[in-house]
Amino acid sequence: MTVTVTTAITPVGAPILGSPATINSMALAQGSTIPSGSSVVGITVPIILSDQTRLQYHTRNGGTEFIFNTGTLALRLRQEIHLSNALSPCARTIWHQHEMKHVRDNELLMPRMDRELRADQEFQDILVAPTEWRPRTRFNDTQTAIQEIVRDVFERLTSAAAAHTDSRREYRLVERQVRVRCGHSVSRILRQGMYGQGIDIVQLALNNEPTRLPLLKVDGIFGARTDARVREFQGQKGLVPPDGIVGPNTRRELGL
């Protein structure tokens, strides 16, 4: 018999903060698509929970075989937003708004989840229109197979939605908002050894400029790599001498 697939959505509340290294590791583990020239400063982690407790099944031959016949497979979406705790409060607010787009995108996918699952042949064979009796010893394996099908469909849909939202144009718009709305928080003079004071905004701006060096971690720390990147940028713009100090001229060239 047909199984009704229902959805219940638990939207995210407040952001959960993490270090830049943690954010990058989470992004790599999730296979996130990051536009070229940008850095990972936040990530939305969607988790689909499958409740099979309301599924019902028949048995035969003394309980040695079973087949699902009715019930409800309840899917619940839980989402977490993680942002780099090195971002300034102003920049954190703007990036949180971007991540909320992912939250809404994933919520809108839930009705499509129902359709995609019903179109999945293996899912149909197990739940929607069962075609075979299964050994009772395979009951746990069958439940695991259901979870894997749900997870695979969900990951495919959310990955496509995330790639669409995380476009290079979108990242540039967000980073421009950070520069325009938070630029006042950047100290007038920045140099190696400093931290905070808008250094994260400088690092974001530098990551959008051509470079032969590795992209900077947006961690708010003016270390040796940020110093080298500033000197490279100053040389590209003809700022003499390329001293690694972010002063008025370098700020102007960066659009800050």
Per-residue pLDDT of the chain (256 residues; tens, 9 = 90+): 345 566 665 656 667 777 777 888 888 888 777 776 666 788 998 888 888 988 889 999 999 999 998 888 888 888 889 888 777 778 888 888 899 999 999 988 888 888 899 889 999 899 888 888 999 999 999 999 999 999 999 999 999 999 889 888 888 888 878 877 776 566 678 888 877 667 888 888 898 888 999 988 887 788 899 999 999 999 999 998 899 999 889 988 988 7
CA dihedral of residues 44, 48, 49, 51 (deg, nearest 10): 160
> Residue 182 is which amino acid?
C
Distance between CA 198 and CA 186 in Å, rounded?
4
**Superfamily of segment(s) 186-253:** PGBD-like superfamily/PGBD (1.10.101.10)
Rounded to two decimals, the pTM is 0.69
Distance between CA 152 and CA 135 in Å, rounded?
25
Distance between CA 24 and CA 22 in Å, rounded?
5
Domain boundaries, the chain: 4-168, 186-253
